[in-house]
A and B are shown apart, each in its own frame.
Chain A
Amino acid sequence: MSKYTEEDLEQELKTKEYEYGFYTDIESETFAKGLNEDVVRAISKKKNEPQWMTDWRIEAFRVWEKMEEPDWANVKYPKPDFQGIAYYSAPKQKPKLNSLDEVDPDLLETFKKLGISLEEQKRLANVAVDIVIDSVSVATTFKKTLGEKGIIFMPISEAIQEHPELVRKHLGTVVPTSDNFYAALNSAVFSDGSFCYIPKGVKCPMELSTYFRINEGGTGQFERTLVVADKGSYVSYLEGCTAPSRDENQLHAAVVELIALDDAEIKYSTVQNWYPGDADGKGGVFNFVTKRGICETNAKISWTQVETGSAVTWKYPSCILKGNNSVGEFYSIAVTNHHQQADTGTKMIHLGKNTKSTIISKGISAGKSQNSYRGLVHVGARAENARNFSQCDSLLMGNACGAHTFPYIEAKNKSAQIEHEATTSKIGEDQLFYCNQRGIDTEKAIALIVNGFSKEVLNKLPMEFAVEAQKLLEISLEGSVG
């Protein structure tokens, strides 16, 4: 029998292991496990931080201590042991890099396996790469080109040293330390991340890109990203991640803050492919991220994400549309397979007049996974003429997964116009037959149809990312049942 049955597909799905499951052996200096005020101080000291930064962390830690881990999301997982995590780790020799030759060969090897080697990256037009391996940056390139425009793009730890006034002014203004459990934790212990400042009127000439990786065993990673787009400026920021395969759950609690001042625009794109655990749901990354941006007058923030990884995802990139005429956008594809659980969506908070938001969310669930969209559209009493359009589509593959939609819509202004639509569907037998008839096998047909389903969002990604994202979609659904 040459027929490719659902069972065959399922079998293949089961044996499909994590593509990038490997582990780089870089010597690390790691703190003992556990968290208390002394550890927070030690992290700050290690990084040579000014007193205000230390105080800020301590304050966050005290807030965190009093908080409880949230449990409202539609996800189930063993609660991490926060005292069982080492809160600091850095590669021992911090190489000063002028060229790729100086990069740790192991690291280069790692990137090769990912198919996103630095060589390739460098060849890609206009992409500056700031690699974060574990928690400390080890390479920054293209600094010069950016420097000429007055653009600051560096590890946030360096920015704290070199541009303390900028960091101090903006850090924690969009996501306050007390915002939520994970944000507070991140504020207390974040080790590094990226800082980006685009001066007034400057259009950043290239896509800014960072590749994050979680590496050291048992080390939680807490990045902190702060992007400030000054008046009239523009920046497109790319973030992509993957992690080594391991058995132990790894916690990731990042905070990303975006500030778009008057007339500025920030485009923030993410492709996330962390280790989702094995076919039995063992291992995998816990991804609890707080991402939020604030728009001043006429500003625009656009979040685009392709989420295929992590065992548990809890993530709501949001926009506070404070300024009049500001615009918020959220384009998302979330794919879950095996035992993955994703609870993701966005919040659009309309405060200013004539503010506009668009939400396009595409959820694809396969295997035994659970995929939830959770979103809030809030129109405040003074937000005259606010507009929102939301479209949440779910595609189910197989009969052991779930797709859920939890939109919250709050309108306090009569001029508000809000439209929310949601649909759920599966890939039609007739669609598959049509493709088969034209010589396309079932697996390829599924990839094609899923791609079509996700098109609106894929189109929003910068070219070089779209290709990678498309590949990821295919990989994560390979062998799924139609």
Chain B
Amino acid sequence: MTKVKMELKEKIVASYVAFENDVDINSEIHDIRTEAFQNFEKLGFPTKKLEAWKYTSLNSVLKNDFSIFPNKENAIEFADVKKYFIHDIDTYKVVFIDGKYSSFLSDTTHDGKDVCLMSSALSKPKYKSVIKKYFNKIAKQDNLTSLNTAFTNEGAYIYIPKNVEVEKPIQIINFTTGNDVATMIQPRNLVVVEENAHVQIIERHQSLTDNAVLTNSVTEIFSAKNATVDYYKIQNDKDNASLVDNTFIEQKTNSVVSVHTFSFGGNITRNNLNFYQRGEHIDSILKGITIIEGKQHVDHHTLVHHIEPNCESHQDYKGIFDARSTGVFNGKVIVEKEAQKTNAYQQNNNVLVSDKATINAKPQLEIFADDVKCSHGCTIGQLDEDALFYMQQRGIPKKEGKALLMYAFANTVLESVKIPEVKQRINKLIATKLGVHIGFDL
């Protein structure tokens, strides 16, 4: 087992030289890459021995023989993948196929804002100051983030200048075609939202194959004063596609950032979502719905770091686990001594539908300030039998009744979704997941 893991690590380490061949080693960020590479070389892949990975093991995924740089340019027809887009509204699109930019499927812009590619942002002088100021400034120096940083090359680059309200949502989609037996991709996104600006982003990772996929994605989001960012992550991937999503968010005074994570599929999904509040009157919103089955495994690992006074955070994660699936919720709230008058709420509610499903939860509070309101609640339970009976008595079949109850259970999370089309889509996904066809009207 450990032998196998060494191999992937060795393969990655060995291919770094090849990677360096393809990128500009004189660029600003090359030192960052090199340092991150050394860090990964030292740390290797995470194991269950690390407290942060106590409940999630990547071993089964890491034993695949991943190709690290898919060489071929792969094309796909829009018609074949249309269903993976939120296609009923106009959006900007930044689309990648096997880690390479697809200009054919994308719709980028430089009109008063930049919605484009990381690769060009890293190489063109025009973007130099933004890259210098923001790139890799809040990403953690842990194993997998370092690995991503070392191989940073492609991803979405989004820059919204002061006072700009982006008129339509931006979709970031990573497709994998499975032309290689096992594909590993490492998208790197940077989102900078300046003062008073507003942007909505929808992110999706989608495998088009049954071959193994491992995505190790890193996204850094900077939200300046009074800015608003709404970020939606749709995770409904194939059974053999695993995802480690590392998202880091820094907020300044009066900004509001919300991240909704909808996890309905995939093999192993690990969401590392980190909020750092650097200013007052900040609101951070972290919400998630997880509905999984089979042997799927979803791990939400959140951190909200309250550094300054008068800020809020709201976490609400709901999970429904069927078959042999496993859910993990590890939510940490840190309130620093200076962060007086913090209001931090955390809710994590879970339903186990099957005898073989497992849920592990670890909601933590670390509090160093006294004038704060912090609470967390965590429940594991079943659907309300009385409510179910009541519905059956009124003629609703048990299956639909259950679905309705589960829908109601998850609904609090949907309430804060601001794009109606996304809400509808998630609704449909929930209906499909629950295996019923009743009109889930909003």
Q: What is the interface of chain A, defined by CB distance below 8 A to chain B? A: 72, 379, 381, 394, 396-426
Shortest distance from the beta carbon of B409 to any chain A beta carbon, whole Å? 15
Question: Quick check: is B420 within 8 A (CB to CB) of the other chain?
Answer: no
Shortest distance from the beta carbon of B314 to any chain A beta carbon, whole Å? 16
Report whether B362 and A409 are in contact in the complex, using a CB–CB cutoff of 8 Å: yes
Q: Which of B365, B366, B375, B380 contacts A409 (CB 8 A)?
A: B380
Shortest distance from the beta carbon of B133 to any chain A beta carbon, whole Å? 33
Report whether A414 and B378 are in contact in the complex, using a CB–CB cutoff of 8 Å: no
Report whether B367 and A422 are in contact in the complex, using a CB–CB cutoff of 8 Å: no
Report whether A399 and B369 are in contact in the complex, using a CB–CB cutoff of 8 Å: yes
Question: Quick check: is B377 within 8 A (CB to CB) of the other chain?
Answer: yes
A72 and B367 alpha carbons, distance in the complex (Å): 18
Report whether A424 and B372 are in contact in the complex, using a CB–CB cutoff of 8 Å: yes
Question: Quick check: is B62 within 8 A (CB to CB) of the other chain?
Answer: no
Q: Annotate B7-51 by CB proximity to A: 1 below 8 A, 0 otherwise.
A: 000000000000000000000000000000000000000000001
Shortest distance from the beta carbon of B342 to any chain A beta carbon, whole Å? 10
Q: Which of A402, A418, A424 contacts B374 (CB 8 A)?
A: A424
Determine the main DSSP class of A at the interface with B.
strand
Report whether A405 and B365 are in contact in the complex, using a CB–CB cutoff of 8 Å: yes
Report whether A405 and B376 are in contact in the complex, using a CB–CB cutoff of 8 Å: yes
- List the A side residues contacting B163 at CB < 8 Å: none
- List the A side residues contacting B363 at CB < 8 Å: 405, 407, 409, 420, 422
Q: Which of A398, A402, A416, A421 contacts B376 (CB 8 A)?
A: A421
Question: Quick check: is B337 within 8 A (CB to CB) of the other chain?
Answer: yes
Q: Annotate B250-284 by CB proximity to A: 1 below 8 A, 0 otherwise.
A: 00000000000000000000000000000000000
Q: Which of B73-81, B86-94, B347-355, B391-399 is the interface stretch?
A: B347-355
Closest-by-CB residue of B relative to A397 is: B370
A27 and B361 alpha carbons, distance in the complex (Å): 53
Report whether B373 and A424 are in contact in the complex, using a CB–CB cutoff of 8 Å: yes
Report whether A403 and B365 are in contact in the complex, using a CB–CB cutoff of 8 Å: yes
| Interface pairs (20), CB distance under 8 Å | A381-B356, A394-B367, A396-B367, A401-B368, A404-B366, A406-B362, A408-B361, A409-B359, A409-B361, A410-B360, A414-B352, A414-B353, A414-B357, A417-B380, A420-B361, A421-B375, A421-B377, A422-B363, A422-B375, A422-B377
Q: Which of A401, A414, A418, A426 contacts B355 (CB 8 A)?
A: A414
Closest-by-CB residue of A relative to B55 is: A410
Report whether B375 and A398 are in contact in the complex, using a CB–CB cutoff of 8 Å: no
Most chain B CB neighbours (cut-off 10 Å) among A405, A407, A409, A420: A409
Closest-by-CB residue of B relative to A410 is: B360
Question: Quick check: is B358 within 8 A (CB to CB) of the other chain?
Answer: yes
- List the A side residues contacting B357 at CB < 8 Å: 414
Question: Quick check: is B57 within 8 A (CB to CB) of the other chain?
Answer: no
Q: Which of B362, B364, B382 contacts A417 (CB 8 A)?
A: B382
A404 and B354 alpha carbons, distance in the complex (Å): 33
Question: Quick check: is B379 within 8 A (CB to CB) of the other chain?
Answer: yes
Q: What 12 additional pairs, Cβ within 8 angstroms, besides A406-B364, A410-B360, A416-B381?
A: A72-B51, A396-B369, A396-B372, A404-B364, A404-B367, A411-B358, A414-B382, A417-B379, A417-B382, A419-B377, A421-B375, A424-B375
Question: Quick check: is B371 within 8 A (CB to CB) of the other chain?
Answer: yes
Report whether B377 and A416 are in contact in the complex, using a CB–CB cutoff of 8 Å: no
Report whether A419 and B379 are in contact in the complex, using a CB–CB cutoff of 8 Å: yes
Contact residues of B between 177 and 220, Cβ < 8 Å to A:
none
Report whether B352 and A422 are in contact in the complex, using a CB–CB cutoff of 8 Å: no
Shortest distance from the beta carbon of B338 to any chain A beta carbon, whole Å? 9
Report whether B367 and A408 are in contact in the complex, using a CB–CB cutoff of 8 Å: no
A422 and B353 alpha carbons, distance in the complex (Å): 26
Q: Which of A396, A400, A413, A419 contacts B352 (CB 8 A)?
A: A413
A320 and B231 alpha carbons, distance in the complex (Å): 44
Q: A424-B372, A425-B373 are in contact. Are A411 and B359 (CB under 8 A)?
A: yes
Report whether A418 and B362 are in contact in the complex, using a CB–CB cutoff of 8 Å: no
Report whether A424 and B380 are in contact in the complex, using a CB–CB cutoff of 8 Å: no
Most chain B CB neighbours (cut-off 10 Å) among A411, A413, A416, A425: A411
Shortest distance from the beta carbon of A415 to any chain B beta carbon, whole Å? 7
A410 and B353 alpha carbons, distance in the complex (Å): 15
Shortest distance from the beta carbon of B313 to any chain A beta carbon, whole Å? 13
Report whether B378 and A396 are in contact in the complex, using a CB–CB cutoff of 8 Å: no
Q: A72-B51, A408-B360, A425-B373 are in contact. Are A416 and B380 (CB under 8 A)?
A: yes
Closest-by-CB residue of B relative to A382 is: B355
Closest-by-CB residue of B relative to A386 is: B380
Report whether B365 and A404 are in contact in the complex, using a CB–CB cutoff of 8 Å: yes
Closest-by-CB residue of B relative to A389 is: B379
Report whether B376 and A412 are in contact in the complex, using a CB–CB cutoff of 8 Å: no
A422 and B365 alpha carbons, distance in the complex (Å): 9
